[in-house]
């Protein structure tokens, strides 16, 4: 997958005024891109680790958008052909760094949406209606103003990637129901404790709780075999669950009160700070109940 250099994109882009999606699109179809075929105009904050052969990418980031009204009927240009957005399969929608505060009701009817990148907008809450989107397996809410996860979201048992970092979360009660999670990032919130049922998340590959207020971790968390890395940096932690000795991945405790020298040697060997890329290995993608799993290409 090739992406255009961000510096060139910024240099070529005019300064934009606030606008709605309807104003941006006008009467012309909006270009969509195909993974592994097209040069995709992605920016620095646009996650790129979730693509598989055949995925479609709609790039609407950094357009000063204030509304997505009209998105369910949006016309797109897909490899030279004008289509409805609903005709696309495995759609990745980027709306990062806009001025969105809400999503229109029609948004939740997009049954083909696979991953939503909606970071650095102006949301005070995650809309509970998003739980109706049972083919949506990845959501990135970084850098909004979200204080709580609605209980409906904990029912999205098909979620694989869930990121709500840099918000104002104080509780994750219900998290243990998301048993298909591979990537979990709740860094830089206001969390003082984790729910006991976090031990249910047996498929985690990367997990980040850095920059919270955690003083202890549930002992059951020690049974989670995190494959790549657990990030706990910047918490007032003093100790780690004994079960972490069996974790395949590394554990980052930078800036905590954990005395690494006093840890058992086997656990001390797990301590590391090298940041691991979000789930880059070959995997079987598990989606909602309406579609069969698809094997992704190795990245």
Question: Residue 263: inside a domain, yes or no?
Answer: yes
Residues 97-122 pLDDT 10s:
999 999 999 999 999 999 999 999 99
Question: Residue 156: inside a domain, yes or no?
Answer: yes
Secondary structure E strands in the chain: 2-3, 19-20, 30-34, 39-40, 56-59, 65-67, 75-78, 81-84, 91-94, 113-117, 138-140, 161-163, 183-185, 206-208, 229-231, 250-252, 284-285, 294-295
pLDDT of amino acid 277: 62
pLDDT of amino acid 285: 44
Question: Residue 229: inside a domain, yes or no?
Answer: yes
Question: Residue 135: inside a domain, yes or no?
Answer: yes
Q: What DSSP state is assigned to residue 168?
A: -
Residues 125-177 pLDDT 10s:
999 999 999 999 999 999 999 999 999 999 999 999 999 999 999 999 999 99
CB 198 within 8 A of CB 221: yes
Question: Residue 11: inside a domain, yes or no?
Answer: no
pLDDT of amino acid 274: 75
> With bands split at pLDDT 50, 70 and 90, how would you rate the model's confidence at 278?
low
Question: Residue 161: inside a domain, yes or no?
Answer: yes
* Mean pLDDT of the 68-76 span: 98
pLDDT of residue 20 exceeding 80:
yes
Q: Which residues of 105-114 are buried (b: 16+ CB within 10 A; e: fewer)?
A: eebbebebbb
pLDDT of residue 279 exceeding 90:
no
pLDDT of amino acid 135: 97
Q: What DSSP state is assigned to residue 271?
A: B
> With bands split at pLDDT 50, 70 and 90, how would you rate the model's confidence at 217?
very high
pLDDT of residue 245 exceeding 70:
yes
pLDDT of amino acid 156: 98
Q: Model-level pTM greater than 0.95? A: no
Residues 181-207 pLDDT 10s:
999 999 999 999 999 999 999 999 999
Enumerate the β-bridge partners of residue 32.
78
pLDDT of amino acid 292: 36
CATH label of the domain that carries residue 276: 3.80.10.10
Percent of the chain predicted with pLDDT > 90: 83
Number of domains in the chain: 1
Task: Look at 13 and 178; give whichever has higher pLDDT.
Answer: 178
pLDDT of amino acid 10: 46
Domain housing 224? 123-295
CA distance 117 to 46: 8
Question: Residue 8: inside a domain, yes or no?
Answer: no
Question: Residue 24: inside a domain, yes or no?
Answer: no
């Amino acid at each position: 997958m090739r992406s255009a250099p961000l510096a060139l994109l910024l240099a070529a882009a005019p300064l934009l005024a606030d606008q709605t999606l309807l104003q941006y699109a006008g009467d012309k179809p909006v270009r969509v891109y195909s993974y592994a075929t097209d040069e995709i105009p992605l920016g620095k904050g646009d996650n790129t680790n979730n693509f598989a052969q055949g995925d479609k990418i709609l790039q609407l980031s950094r357009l000063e958008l204030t509304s997505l009204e009209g998105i369910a009927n949006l016309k797109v240009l897909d490899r030279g052909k004008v289509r409805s957005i609903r005709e696309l399969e495995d759609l990745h929608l980027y709306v990062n760094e806009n001025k969105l505060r809400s999503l229109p009701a029609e948004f939740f009817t997009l049954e083909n949406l696979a991953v939503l990148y909606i970071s650095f907008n102006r949301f005070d809450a995650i809309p509970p209606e998003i739980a109706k989107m049972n083919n949506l397996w990845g959501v990135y809410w970084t850098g909004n103003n979200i204080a709580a996860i609605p209980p409906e979201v904990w029912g999205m048992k098909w979620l694989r990637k869930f990121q709500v970092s840099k918000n104002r979360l104080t509780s994750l009660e219900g998290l243990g129901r998301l048993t298909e999670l591979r990537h979990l990032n709740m860094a830089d919130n206001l969390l003082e404790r984790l729910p006991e049922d976090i031990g249910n998340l047996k498929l985690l590959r990367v997990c980040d709780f850095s920059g919270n207020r955690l003083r202890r971790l549930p002992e059951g968390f020690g049974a989670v075999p995190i494959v790549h890395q657990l990030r706990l940096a910047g918490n007032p932690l003093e100790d780690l669950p004994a079960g972490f000795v069996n974790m395949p991945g590394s554990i980052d405790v930078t800036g905590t009160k954990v005395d690494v020298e006093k840890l058992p040697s086997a656990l001390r060997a797990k301590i590391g700070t090298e940041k691991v890329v979000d789930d880059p290995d070959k995997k079987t993608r598990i989606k909602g109940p309406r579609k069969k799993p698809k094997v992704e290409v190795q990245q």
